[in-house]
Amino acid sequence: MTTFVCINNLSDFSNDLESPKIFVKERLSGEKISGLFFYSNAVNEFLNEARLTEWLEYSLSEEIPVYACRNSLIKRNISEKINPLINVVGLGQLIEGVLNNNKTIVIGSL
């Protein structure tokens, strides 16, 4: 079973977010993750260099593509500062991820 993960906002989980790998695995019991889509305030994770490194190391070790919503980045004026390993995409990628997977997990509120 494949699961697509949409991350909206991680500020509510700041105390629980020791490691992105542990954070995601606790919410997905051994399921194959097809993508991590950062939307809304979750794109702020990319401004913290240490946190960005953790997300990228996790995604590379598990071969999970990382997507960031273009409009979310532009709205926060961080579109130019994004790491080239992050796929900057539109909401079509989110829709495709939802439709092409068995399950979608949404983390955080808008």
Q: pLDDT (tens digit, 0 to 9) for every residue of the chain, 110 residues total? A: 899 999 998 877 766 566 777 888 888 877 899 999 999 999 999 998 988 999 999 999 999 999 999 999 999 999 888 999 999 999 999 999 999 999 999 988 87
* pTM attached to this predicted model: 0.91
Look up the domain containing 40 and give its range: 2-107
* CATH number of the domain where residue 40 is located: 3.40.1260.10
Which of 42, 41, 52, 38 is CA-nearest to residue 83?
52
> In 3-state terms, what secondary structure has residue 106?
strand
The alpha carbon dihedral of 56, 69, 96, 103 has a sign of positive
Which of 46, 88, 91 is CA-nearest to residue 65?
88
Strand order, beta sheet including 87-89: 87-89, 66-69, 32-38, 2-7, 103-107
d(CA 65, CA 79): 18
How many structural domains is the chain composed of? 1
